[in-house]
Chains A and B, each alone.
Chain A
């Protein structure tokens, strides 16, 4: 006799055990578990490499930093925190969950707005400054939904591994940024002729000697770059003041560009008549001038790799849920959900493959918040049979950029945008 797949003998054996268990004060239901997998949530063991990090996020403990939700700790001084995957279920990343990346340990702990001023100086007709009150009241505010992604996001995927912050995928976020157009501020000061760049400096300092990158973090954009007209000096992030760790009181927003240009606690806007040759422009944050920024350790060693300052971020997409922490049920329809973004154009297509990238089907795109924002997508999916699945997600933008399926390598660990995969296990429904 077989009832629900259990032989009568097995049943009797179990019931007998239950009887023994009852005598020992162990619950019969508990005894039914004997001989089965004692599965429960296990923490990820420490993982450093040398292989690629196999997890969605970086591997590290959670930490509670001021004004922030518990985030994944990369480093504590200066602070680098990664946003856990679950916060990407919404296309606007909450301020308290937004990732954090500082270069120098002198991060502000307090800003006195009585004395704080944003200064516009350098090669300008008149040096001017603005209090936060003036920025709020003397300019018509503009808003832009824009993705902020660290240049080194997903660095822990590279092979061979490269030094730097070992981010998983969570060094990114999308927010509605509100503030003053950079162009209006530059116009008030009057950019002099023959100016070529504009440099940005925040309140962050380090203990290093003057003039060295361990003392100041400085970034510049070319005045001829059309993105200057899209930059916003933001005092609101998702309709709230910025957390200190994300750049209170104001932060530069450079839509479509990697976050290295999004100066936090922005305080000096400096118009330059000569190119910025500080370390953070001339040596750091540079990418090979090759297709996709790809190169090899050997080519770098040969010294023949020409580099450029990093710029726009390439197209990416992510499956946010399901995240592989639960088993799925064969024949049961679920929704796959995720995000996509590109620094080069509007997302026009997100496709899903449930056979490891052989066949692709378009997902439904959700509300469009503009070309620089996260674009949500969802896809109704029914795993037909029990087994292992490898789901892949691929995005395309309106400039026809499509995510590649090849790995990439460069010594800075920048620009990773390979098609993401998620392994899912599907069990039988009966």
Chain B
């Protein structure tokens, strides 16, 4: 039948067209997605201000973090945390054991951390054991 033949012709044309499209863009990729994790980043909500002379900024966020477990961690938490968060430790590149000793010395003497001799040794040993050139993971 004529109509059927016409239909067949149209279908053939369509197929050829599709094949040609595939040929032209043979290496085209599309529709790829990858699973991802959302971070804790949120949009800031506009604060409720009062039109007085007080100019506030909200509290500065301190995300939770872990230090390597081990002897001396307790002392690090007590002393170092007084002035700064432990991120000051993990931010550092792997430092030589001598440099870690210098750093803790600086905190103790110049910055007045006032660490007892025992705890002072423990803190240095801890940092050398986990965050030095030969130990950092």
Contact = CB atoms under 8 A, between A and B. Distances in A.
Interface of A: 3-6, 11, 14-15, 18, 27-30, 32-33, 36, 38, 40, 48-50, 60-67, 70, 73-79, 104-105, 107-114, 156, 160-163, 165-166, 206-209, 212-214, 241, 243-245, 248-249, 279, 283
A33 B57 contact: no
A40 B83 CA distance: 41
Given A79-B60, A105-B84, A64 B42 contact: yes
A18 B95 CA distance: 55
Given A113-B53, A248-B55, A48 B111 contact: no
Contacts of A243: 57
B3 interface: no
20 contacts: A11-B23, A15-B19, A28-B22, A30-B32, A32-B27, A36-B29, A38-B32, A48-B90, A48-B93, A48-B94, A50-B94, A66-B44, A75-B91, A76-B61, A163-B103, A209-B112, A213-B110, A243-B57, A248-B55, A249-B55
Interface in B62-114: 62-63, 82-85, 87-88, 90-96, 99, 103, 110-114
Contacts of A165: 91
Contacts of B24: 4
Nearest to B133: A50
A307 to B, nearest CB: 15
Interface of B: 19, 22-24, 26-32, 34, 39, 41-44, 52-63, 82-85, 87-88, 90-96, 99, 103, 110-114, 133, 136
Closest 9 CB pairs of A and B: A49-B93, A244-B57, A161-B93, A110-B56, A114-B53, A214-B111, A77-B85, A66-B57, A113-B53
Given A11-B23, A161-B93, A207-B82, A77 B29 contact: no
A228 B86 CA distance: 38
A65 B112 contact: no
A63 B91 contact: no
A107 to B, nearest CB: 7
A279 B110 contact: yes
Contacts of A60: 91
Contact of A112 (B39, B53, B92): B53
Contact of A77 (B57, B60, B113, B133): B60
A212 B83 CA distance: 12
A402 to B, nearest CB: 29
A329 B115 CA distance: 60
B60 A207 contact: no
A414 B57 CA distance: 31
By secondary structure, the A interface counts as loop
A348 B94 CA distance: 40
Given A50-B94, A110-B55, A6 B26 contact: yes
A111 B53 CA distance: 8
Given A15-B22, A112-B53, A32 B103 contact: no
B83 A214 contact: yes
By secondary structure, the B interface counts as loop
A407 to B, nearest CB: 15
A43 B39 CA distance: 12
Nearest to B63: A76
A283 to B, nearest CB: 7
Contact of B61 (A3, A63, A244, A248): A63
A2 to B, nearest CB: 11
A4 B26 contact: yes
The CB with the most chain A CB atoms within 10 A, among B92, B93, B94, is that of B93
A107 B60 contact: yes
Given A63-B41, A112-B54, A163-B95, A6 B23 contact: yes
B27 to A, nearest CB: 7
B34 A67 contact: no
A70 B55 contact: no
A166 B29 contact: no
Contacts of B83: 104-105, 206-208, 214
Contacts of B31: 27, 29-30
Given A165-B91, A244-B55, A249-B55, 5 more contacts: A14-B22, A32-B28, A63-B61, A76-B62, A105-B83
A109 B58 contact: yes
A145 to B, nearest CB: 25
A78 B57 contact: no
A384 B67 CA distance: 50
A369 B113 CA distance: 45
A161 B95 contact: yes
Contacts of B92: 48, 163, 166
A213 B111 contact: yes
Contacts of A3: 23
Contacts of B29: 29, 32-33, 36
